[in-house]
Amino acid sequence: MKYTVLEGSENGKVWDWFYDRFLFKPSYYAKNWPSIEPSLTSRTYRFADYLFEDDFDGYEDWIHAGLKEVVSNDFLYALDWQHPCYKFHLNNYGDLPIGFFPDGDYYIFIDASLSNGVFTHPWEQSVCVFGDRLVEVLTKKFAAPFSQEFRRS
């Protein structure tokens, strides 16, 4: 199998960690944003300009390249808020039922050490890249496809 569905205690453990560590507050309302407060190094970019583009490859390639450099042969968690979540190896990313670009739900892709990943916010239309190593790789080695960095920690 190219990915496994997270179930039971593993699913609960990863979500509990994410809620606790990032103070996750899901909300549709702008007055409640940001929905996460990363304690790790982070950069948040708007992807609103990409919503009506025909080609999201720049965004997908940027995230994939950064994660591939940081994660190497380890697995990742792919969390889809209020839906099935997955554990997978990055070389099997194309087989996942979800992608890096949100379709109306929060998506979180995070490494096995729970220290590097991306959080996409569908209503704020943003992506938050977090973790020292991933932020360094994505901001220095690979050019961000977004021009509007609007939050950092």
Q: What pLDDT, on the 0 to 100 scale, is given for residue 6?
A: 96
Give the chain's domain count. Answer: 1
Q: What is the pLDDT of residue 107?
A: 94
User: What whole-number distance in Å separates Cα of residue 147 and Cα of residue 45?
Assistant: 8
pLDDT at 63: 85
pLDDT of residue 71: 85
Rounded Cα gap, residues 49 and 90, in angstroms? 27
User: Residue 103 CA to chain centroid, in angstroms?
Assistant: 13
pTM: 0.90
Please give the residue range of the domain that contains residue 24: 3-152
Angstrom CA distances, 83 to 18, 76, 105, 106, 148, stand at 15, 17, 9, 10, 29
Residue 51 confidence (pLDDT): 58
pLDDT in tens, the chain (153 residues): 589 999 999 999 999 999 999 999 999 999 999 999 988 899 998 876 665 555 566 777 888 888 988 987 778 999 999 999 999 988 888 788 888 877 789 999 999 888 899 999 988 888 899 999 999 888 877 666 666 677 888
Site of tokens 């901001």:
139
